[in-house]
Structure formats: structure tokens, C-alpha cells
Structure 1
């Protein structure tokens, strides 16, 4: 039991570092963010920070991973996802332009560097995210809320692609792209279209 004290303090410090890093990456961008400054704001030496994260890229990917894990409550995290959580995340993205810009640029770079930390992160992210949302859609099918004529994995993949594509559109035209409204509209159309398709099968 005694070991839980230092362990809990270590987890709390890690969360503090991630909070500081999220703010720094969002405000300054990846290239201008300094590990030294993150360490200073976290009350650590640079060597102390490297005890938790061995490189800036590792820290940034941890920030992105926690961003995906954030629930509708701002200070709660869960490594699970659903359609509703994806819609909420897209809507929140409008308040985090710096992180959206970093996410889009890092995801594009990850497609080039096979075997890099970023590449491996995004490959795993899309696998996990699609599986989680497909599981939710499958549950909706079992509850009679979504047509069984549509493959859950296909629907999940398309929904994630729309969510990420809207981020790029919003960065290019923030004044005319409402990400939250558009992803919600797309999900409503997908559900309605699936119902029509199921009706065609039943005729």
C-alpha cells in the first residue's frame, strides 16, 4: 500500500505535464514549443521532464492521445469512444485551433514516415477509433436504432474520415465551416439513408 503514494504522485505530475504541454503546443505550435519551458512550468528540471517523456515528439503524441480520450466532461478521460463522443470532440475542436492545426500537420506527416513514432501512433489511432465507433454502431443496430443493412466498420470509417476532413476545411475557412453542425448533420443523414436502404431491402 505504501508504494501507492509515490505512484499516485507520479501520475498526478504526468497529468500536470500534459496540461502544460497541451497549452504550450496549442499556443506556440510544435516547432516553437520548448521542452525546457514545459519543464519550467511543470516545476521540473529538463532532466526531470525527460524522466516522464524522453522526447518532444513522444510528449506531443501523448497530448494527442489524451485529446482522443477526453470525454464530454472537460477533466475526465476514458480510453473508449462512441459516435456521440466523436460528435462532441469535433464540436470542441473549434475552441482549440492550435491543436487542430498540429493534429492535421502531424497526421499528414505520419503518412510519409513509415515506422516513425507519428506513423505508428496514427495507424493505431485509426484502428482503435474505428473499432470503438463500429462497436457503438453495432450496439445501435441491436437496439433497432440503426439499419443492419450497413456494415458498422464501413460506417465508422466514413464517419471518422468526415470528422478529420472537416478539421482541414475548418482551418482553411474557419468563418464558413461549422464542424460540429456539419458532422451532426452527416450522422443524421447517414442514419436516415441507412433506414431508407433497409426499407428497400424489405420491399
Structure 2
């Protein structure tokens, strides 16, 4: 190992440690916001979970808003959060796969539902994130439903834009019900039932 290699390794060490600490803070904030929401969860709650002072925590995330946005970005990384038009698999398969995946990651659905509902309140920092996310989802799903219509696989009378909006609403509603009654509500079954109503089977 050369002197230059040693120098590079030394620089990577503190950076890697800092990134690990950031990830630990994000995981803790994910738990806090999922359990208490953005307004109910405090920076002190997050700091206590990782054994830091609020001052030290703010070294990594300058404000509570910055921490929230980083948590939402982290959530998208965990879920992959790819939209159907970016995927080779069909709309139905991609939605079902994502729904199954999300249910098996602790806290992901809780975080999404809690913060999404809370974002409609005045001056919530996540409002733009969720507004833009819903818009992208509606457009993405509408394109896929339109493709199915062009293939003759969308049932007569089904409008792609309305089908997309209904899918987004149904999925969020099923997830909320699932959180409240996991033994009674089957998200995947509900989504499959919807697709059976609007999409014709492959010939």
C-alpha cells in the first residue's frame, strides 16, 4: 500500500463513519415519525434513540424539516418506489409485487400513511412531496392503463385516468385498513380484485 493509498483510506474512514451515523439517525427518525407523526415526534425523541444530544443530531440534519425530507427519501430508497412506466414488468405484477414488499418491511407502510394524512394540514413540510408523488403516480398508472386499452385488455367503459386515480385511492385506503385490522384486511387480495374488475385477462 502506498502513502497515497493510506491517505485515501484515512479519508474514507471518517466519511464512512459519518454516513453510518446518518443512516442510524434516519432509521430512528423513521420509527419516531411512523409512531407519532411529524408534529408529534420530536428531535429529542430521535436523539434519545441514537444516544446523541439534539445539538449533535443537528450537525447531521440542520432542522427537523431536513430530517423529515431525508426520511422520505430514505423510504423511497427502501421500497425502490419505482413507478410502473419505469419497469419492464406489467402494471398488475408491479403493483402486487410492491404491495407485498412494503408489507414485509417494518414501519414503511405506517410511516407513509401517517405522514401522508398529516401532510394535508397547514404548513406541513411534506405537503409538496406527497402532492407531487400522487401526481406522478396518477400519470404513471394512467399511461399503463392506456397501454392496456390499446392492447384491448381494458374493460369497455373504463377510462385510464379514472382507473389510475381509483387505483391510488384504493391502495392507500387498503393500507390504512390493513394497519388497523391486519388480520381482517388483505391488501393484495383487494388490489387483485380491483384489477379483475377493470383489466381483461391475457388471451
Pick the aligned partner of 2:194 from 172, 186, 197: 186
Paired residue total: 183
Residue number in structure 2 paired with 1:90: 99
Residue number in structure 1 paired with 2:4: none
The yes-or-no answer on 1:159 pairing with 2:162 is no
Q: 1:38-187 residue pairs with structure 2 within 5 A? A: 38-39=46-47, 46-71=54-79, 77=80, 80-82=82-84, 83=91, 84-95=93-104, 98-113=107-122, 115-141=123-149, 144=151, 146-147=153-154, 150-187=158-195
- Compare CA radii of gyration and give the structure with the larger one: 2
Call closer, same or farther: CA 1:25–1:147 in 2, change over 3 Å: same
Report the secondary structure of 2:126's partner residue.
helix
Q: TM-score, normalised by structure 1?
A: 0.64
Call closer, same or farther: CA 1:29–1:110 in 2, change over 3 Å: closer
- Cα RMSD for the two superposed structures: 3.8
Paired residues of 2:25 and 2:50 also in contact (CA < 8 A): yes
Deviations 1:108-150 (A, max 9, x none): 333342x5313222211211222233344445556x3743964
Moved over 6 A (4+): 6-10
Please state how far the C-alpha of 1:68 moved relative to its aligned partner: 4.0
Paired residues of 1:106 and 1:118 also in contact (CA < 8 A): yes
> Matches of 1:139 and 1:15 in 2, distance apart?
39
Residue number in structure 2 paired with 1:199: none
Residue number in structure 1 paired with 2:28: 20
Residue number in structure 1 paired with 2:88: none
Please state how far the C-alpha of 1:162 moved relative to its aligned partner: 0.3
Residue number in structure 2 paired with 1:200: none
Call closer, same or farther: CA 1:158–1:41 in 2, change over 3 Å: same
Paired residues of 1:170 and 1:178 also in contact (CA < 8 A): yes
